Structure 1
């Protein structure tokens, strides 16, 4: 007997469903986000959501009776990837990794499987829904990887993937990509909200019940967000995202969600002919190698995840020929840039209402913390005055709406990182001033924005004086 079908409308943002089309999603409130999907009733012999892959029934117990065991982590053999994962791979975890096409998602995972296969008692499984086994083999040969212990499967139906995984019993599995996987209980097109949600749910259930670690490769939309319903990010344990441009040699991976480690931890790689190589000193690549000092360039110390990073912030302010001056921020929040420029005018006496202001973070990394505020304003001030600030000066601090300089977390770690790289002077919030002196580093604590602007006068070398 043919299975009955029914039509539902699913939200591509939150995954919520409605029996009829409406302009606004009843769950998340977004507009024009409902897509039509056809769902067929599962056959009578299909267990669906009640499938138990472990064979062990769940039991209710008291929370204090549960033994808190430290998570056993397995190294992937790639230190930067281990750092982003929180120290290694946890059994039963599901990791979603996304990024622009060609940025290195499949390359990184194939490298990780190659190193894991050398130490794992079981053979990893690489499931590809986009490429043929020959294409995967050619990539491995190009990278010079030892893949004689890696098994490959070309399949797009999630039920068959899980059946093969139960037979092969891998400890680590890669699914490339989740947008190509479909389930037989839904008649909607591959890549639709319902297909991605149900396929991911079955893979997550399989991972949790069998202690298999699964990497899911995800596509991104033209806006740069992960394709599919937002519920996909809630279902997995870790979400990793490649930042930067695929045309740039360096690749930055950021953990935007991690149940087993620090959020916003980053790993830095360099793309070479042999694949992605780790960058042992990330601060060096984020600093300009130009020996000539230029106006509008400031070095600040950011703190990403568990480590400080030296990053160069560049600013360019120029006269605007438009009634609406442009505000462009690459690697920073454009909205916060507008707020900080207003603070610079109100409490620093520096007007930019008739100027185009462009901000860039060198290296393609994105900074989301507020510790960049002070460096951004001083870089803008340097560009406006056409003055060069010494490369021996490092700056960080949060700027409030009243013009006050606020303390930021991990101040001591930032200062030690600056001293390690040879900086001689640091302009920091008063709350971040250390109680003990740091060798070879002069600390200049500031309370107000005006104090910070005045303090850089001794570090500024005017181009006119140089001439």
Structure 2
């Protein structure tokens, strides 16, 4: 019997299917996300008919599978990327890389080609550029390309044939939205095409044990364009973050089957490509004004790495009936909560003050251990009294004005010592977590309430 073809409407966000178009998705509630798609239905097998044999099926005992050998992962030669991936590229894994246009996705992938060991080959499939354009970028990034094969192809069946023919050590597909399958009648970039192309690449990677990097476009909301099922079937999802007007880029894993999702990698976008930032704390604190009010240094944990960042606050009298509040790099609701605590528990009236909060370097601080540094920066600007330049504040502030204990305090204080700070304001209850003999070169000032911390500065 022939296949049945019918038209359905699929949500680009959650993948919900509907027989007719609707302005709002009934599943996720998003507006104008249903797009028309064509699917094929294969007739069900008749009852009593013998199943079709699809060849010999192989299986292995779990205890007989060896994953401790050196061939289980491939080191990219880029330490920041290896850290985010959990120690390198896992053999047979599929990695989805997303980010804003111009963030550096294609640049990073070409630099991987340059840093891989010489005995490993790469197949670079581009659907957006010609092979000459890839060559021009490779020359700028000093990629020799001795082991790199480039193909400008958009048909996924041809791409999988190339993979089976060349059997490279790594495959890069840039991008999945430009690929199309002859088995699907819809246009490239549609929900069905993205699902089908991703599934074929996944099957190819698992059967041949070849890792595959897939570049994914993002929509106006910053999420990877296409159905969520694409993010479910891949092993790792990486996002490039950072303002295009700033040179710094942050690589973050939002899904990783082979490692932690808390690790980040930091890069500096230069004319010759992405440069690793080995010491992000030092980079973020470069050019910090000394002896100026409204500045305080906070410490946030990104995975196992402590990062110091400068918090800037500006408090001025408002010119309107309602004071203005602005936060860049910090949660706006959290800032309003802390300002209410400062007014109620600290005794500083903020109802007639405009408050502007900025985290230098484009870093997003979502760690509650930065609460104390934010409040001290606000008080410093309000009183026009600088926080000592050699002082760092670490601690979570509760609604009662108490400074609560935090985790990973040992690593945070060691990072402050390494950068050169001489005093740390921290929760008094957390002092028991530290070996005071180990931190004899730095002054530890324990505080129980917000008022105690304000008195120190």
TM-score, with normalisation over the residues of structure 2?
Answer: 0.90
> CA-atom RMSD, angstroms?
2.6
Match of 1:407 among 402, 405, 408: 405
Residue 145 of structure 1 aligns to a residue whose secondary structure is: coil
Q: Distance in 1 between matches of 2:66 and 2:13?
A: 36
Structure 1 residues 290, 368: closer, same or farther in 2, change over 3 A?
closer
Q: Distance in 2 between matches of 1:445 and 1:51?
A: 71
Residue 440 of structure 2 aligns to a residue whose secondary structure is: coil
Contact 2:393/2:424 (CA < 8 Å) preserved in 1?
yes
Contact 2:295/2:313 (CA < 8 Å) preserved in 1?
yes
Matched, 1:89 2:89: yes
Contact 2:282/2:419 (CA < 8 Å) preserved in 1?
no
Structure 1 residues 368, 237: closer, same or farther in 2, change over 3 A?
farther
Q: Which residue number in structure 2 is paired with residue 139 of structure 1?
A: 137
Q: Distance in 2 between matches of 1:186 and 1:162?
A: 16
Structure 2: which 5+ residue stretches go unaligned? 45-51
Q: Which residue number in structure 2 is paired with residue 450 of structure 1?
A: 451
Q: Which residue number in structure 2 is paired with residue 465 of structure 1?
A: none
Structure 1 residues 238, 423: closer, same or farther in 2, change over 3 A?
same
Q: Distance in 2 between matches of 1:205 and 1:16?
A: 24
Structure 1 residues 12, 163: closer, same or farther in 2, change over 3 A?
same
Q: Following superposition of structure 1 onto structure 2, how do residues 59-70 of structure 1 map, counting pairs within 5 Å?
A: 69-70=67-68
Q: Distance in 2 between matches of 1:56 and 1:418?
A: 60
Contact 1:85/1:258 (CA < 8 Å) preserved in 2?
yes
Contact 1:251/1:268 (CA < 8 Å) preserved in 2?
yes
Q: Which residue number in structure 2 is paired with residue 462 of structure 1?
A: none
Structure 1 residues 317, 198: closer, same or farther in 2, change over 3 A?
farther
Q: Which residue number in structure 1 is paired with residue 80 of structure 2?
A: 80
Q: Which residue number in structure 2 is paired with residue 246 of structure 1?
A: 244
Report the Cα offset of residue 223 of structure 1: 2.4
Structure 1 residues 66, 360: closer, same or farther in 2, change over 3 A?
farther
Q: Distance in 2 between matches of 1:51 and 1:399?
A: 64
Contact 1:14/1:27 (CA < 8 Å) preserved in 2?
yes
Q: Which residue number in structure 1 is paired with residue 436 of structure 2?
A: 436
Report the Cα offset of residue 4 of structure 1: 4.8
Matched, 1:177 2:175: yes
Q: Following superposition of structure 1 onto structure 2, how do residues 44-123 of structure 1 map, counting pairs within 5 Å?
A: 57=57, 69-70=67-68, 72-116=72-116, 118-120=118-120, 123=121
Residue 330 of structure 2 aligns to a residue whose secondary structure is: coil
Q: Distance in 2 between matches of 1:333 and 1:66?
A: 49
Match of 1:214 among 193, 199, 212: 212
Q: Which residue number in structure 1 is paired with residue 48 of structure 2?
A: none
Report the Cα offset of residue 137 of structure 1: 0.6
Match of 2:291 among 265, 268, 293: 293
Contact 1:92/1:211 (CA < 8 Å) preserved in 2?
yes
Q: Distance in 2 between matches of 1:315 and 1:246?
A: 24
Deviations 1:78-129 (A, max 9, x none): 1111111111111111111112211211011101012225242xx2110101
Q: Distance in 2 between matches of 1:452 and 1:423?
A: 17
Deviations 1:272-305 (A, max 9, x none): 2221111221111111414532111111111111
Q: Distance in 2 between matches of 1:277 and 1:24?
A: 44
Q: Distance in 1 between matches of 2:323 and 2:124?
A: 51
Aligned length: 445
Deviations 1:334-373 (A, max 9, x none): 2222222222222222232332222211111222222211
Structure 1 residues 196, 306: closer, same or farther in 2, change over 3 A?
same
Structure 1 residues 319, 119: closer, same or farther in 2, change over 3 A?
farther
Q: Which residue number in structure 2 is paired with residue 33 of structure 1?
A: 33
Structure 1 residues 293, 181: closer, same or farther in 2, change over 3 A?
farther
Structure 1 residues 323, 156: closer, same or farther in 2, change over 3 A?
farther
Q: Which residue number in structure 2 is paired with residue 205 of structure 1?
A: 203
Greater shift after overlay, 365-374 or 80-89? Answer: 365-374
Q: Which residue number in structure 1 is paired with residue 416 of structure 2?
A: 418
Structure 1 residues 361, 175: closer, same or farther in 2, change over 3 A?
same
Structure 1 residues 292, 394: closer, same or farther in 2, change over 3 A?
closer
Q: Distance in 1 between matches of 2:392 and 2:232?
A: 38
Residue 118 of structure 2 aligns to a residue whose secondary structure is: helix
Matched, 1:18 2:34: no
Greater shift after overlay, 429-438 or 305-314? Answer: 429-438
